[in-house]
Structure 1
């Protein structure tokens, strides 16, 4: 029943999003319907109803033609080439950063300096009163992009949290609060997720490339999150280890939009408005607290673990996922209070079973991986081969950050 409900909800979200932007067509269709059902058994009533029905059909037909013309006015081409990291330097405001490219998975901007600051930093947050709204340039293509992205997938227009600030180390002073905003998932689909599409207007041949139009600042470098016009929904992922030292991973199903059929972190998803408040309803003031709440929520939903099974979660890393509009991603390391036998028998909550094909546990020596990375060994050699070959980008980045944290603590 849970799967049927989620499928129905996905369809409702999809048609609701499109309907809100194509309401004149819906209104014309309603006029046709009303004209058909209001035919009265009197001569005058019949004449008036027939006239209303004819006008409604004419208007409806015109709107359908206009809609088809507008929907045919854009051509979409997938960008298969790797992200051109060499053409887009990191933001000047960032500490030393580098691009980490993983074949067939994606490219991320990472910074050891930002990660180390997050280990002990106390970034505060503030939440914008007004929800995020797509800028006009992105709103125009939204009705065309969503059907393309939704094809073959189940997408829900659930509430998410976007980020309009960068978690940068502060030089001697307490860092300024990071501004968050409430948004919907389809806002991200129609903004950040355009990073791998080239959009061409059929009539003029004009091309829209999100990487140049939205990710590049006036100096030719990557925009900071504080200057971005995209949704920039906050990704949260954590890698959890059992009491006997085994890593919990989630096997993603083919319906997963970002990492289908790959191994994902123990818990991975997006920060939601409910993560910004404590169980008592009080607002969370620290970025660490909100992000960790999102990580542990996703962990419990995707693995079937319970809150009491979680001993502690630490925030260990940050990155920006370039193919997804350089969206922010936070990574955690979770220590569980249960062993691998206990975890192996768990199942994800009913709503997540469409996306999860089950759990797989691995032996991963974080200390050894961290020591190897510290000496310059590539991530591909520091991690177990199966994880490197089958792991999603969030899993690989989370393990990289967790290994570095573990090595520094040792």
Structure 2
């Protein structure tokens, strides 16, 4: 019943999003229905109702044609080439920034200096009162983009949290609060997720490339999150280790919209408004407590673990995923209070079983991986072959950040 309910909810979210933007067509359709329903038995009533019905049918037919013409006026092309990092340097404000490209999975902007600063847990957060709104140019393309992205997938328009600030290291005084905003998942689908699409107007040949239009700043470099116009929904991923040292990974199903059939972190998803609240209903003040709460929530949902099974989570890293509109991603490492045998017997919560195909446990020595990376060994050689070959980009980045933190703690 859980799977059927989630499929129904995905369809309702999709129709609601499209319907809210194409309401004139729905109104015309309603007029046709009312014209049929209101046919009266009297001769005059019949004539008037038939006239109203004819007008409604004509209007409805016109609106359908106009809608089809508008929807057919755009051509969508997938950009399969690797992200052009050479043409878009990192923001100058990001210290020690570099691009990390993983074939067939994506490109991330990483910074060892930002990661080390996050270990201190000094960043506070401030949540905007107004929710995120799509800018006009993205709102105009939203009805065309969503059907394309929803094809063959289950997408839910759930609440998420976006980020309008950069977790940059600050010398001396405590850094300024990181600004967050509330949004919906379809806002992200119709903004950040355009990063791998080229949109062309069929009539004029005019092209819209998000990488040039939204990600490039006036200085020619990648825009900071503070000046972005996208939803920039916050990704949270953690790698959890059992009491006997096993790494827990989640095998993604084919229905997963981003990392289908790949190995994902122990818990991975998006920050949600509920993660900004403490268990007693208070407001979280610090960035690390909010994102770690989101990581542990995702961990429990996707693995079937319970909060008492989690000893604690440490925020270890940050990145921006270029192909997904340079959205922010945070990474952590979680210490569990249960062994591998107990974890292997768990199942994800009912709502996650559509996306998770089960758990796989690995032997991973974080200290050894961290030492290899510090010595200049590429990530592809520092990690076990199976993890490098089958791991999603969030899993690889989470292991990289956790390994660097582990070495620093020794």
- Look up the match of 2:289: 289
- Look up the match of 1:102: 102
Check conservation: 2:301, 2:349, Cα contact below 8 A.
yes
What displacement does 1:44 show? 1.3
- Look up the match of 2:373: 373
Residue-pair matches, total: 410
What displacement does 1:172 show? 1.4
- Look up the match of 1:188: 188
Q: Secondary structure at the match of 1:17?
A: helix
Q: For 1:12-31, what aligned pairs fall within 5 Å after superposition?
A: 12-31=12-31
| Uncovered stretches (5+) of structure 1, i.e. residues with no partner | none
- Look up the match of 2:245: 245
- Look up the match of 2:77: 77
- Look up the match of 2:221: 221
What displacement does 1:48 show? 1.1
Counterpart check, 1:169 vs 2:188 = no
* Aligned mates of 1:191, 1:171 — CA distance in 2: 34
- Look up the match of 1:340: 340
Q: Secondary structure at the match of 2:167?
A: coil
Q: Secondary structure at the match of 2:126?
A: strand
- Look up the match of 1:390: 390
Check conservation: 2:105, 2:392, Cα contact below 8 A.
yes
- Look up the match of 2:311: 311
* Aligned mates of 1:90, 1:174 — CA distance in 2: 24
- Look up the match of 1:132: 132
What displacement does 1:297 show? 0.1
- Look up the match of 1:119: 119
What displacement does 1:96 show? 1.5
CA RMSD of aligned residues (A): 0.5
- Look up the match of 1:68: 68
- Look up the match of 1:46: 46
- Look up the match of 2:2: 2
* Aligned mates of 2:94, 2:315 — CA distance in 1: 19
What displacement does 1:121 show? 3.1
Q: Secondary structure at the match of 2:119?
A: helix
* Aligned mates of 1:171, 1:87 — CA distance in 2: 30
TM-score by length of 2: 1.00
Q: 1:156-191: per-residue Cα shift (whole Å, max 9, x none)?
A: 000000000000001212100111000000000000
* Aligned mates of 2:200, 2:72 — CA distance in 1: 11
Q: 1:81-102: per-residue Cα shift (whole Å, max 9, x none)?
A: 0000111011111112000000
Check conservation: 2:121, 2:287, Cα contact below 8 A.
no
* Aligned mates of 1:94, 1:366 — CA distance in 2: 26
Displaced runs of 4 or more, over 2 A: none
* Aligned mates of 1:84, 1:204 — CA distance in 2: 26
State which drifts further: 18-27 or 117-126.
117-126
Q: Secondary structure at the match of 1:25?
A: helix
* Aligned mates of 1:301, 1:230 — CA distance in 2: 27
* Aligned mates of 1:295, 1:312 — CA distance in 2: 11
What displacement does 1:63 show? 0.3
Q: Secondary structure at the match of 1:141?
A: helix
* Aligned mates of 2:257, 2:61 — CA distance in 1: 35
Counterpart check, 1:207 vs 2:204 = no
Q: 1:176-215: per-residue Cα shift (whole Å, max 9, x none)?
A: 0111000000000000000000000011100000000000
* Aligned mates of 1:378, 1:176 — CA distance in 2: 34
What displacement does 1:43 show? 1.1
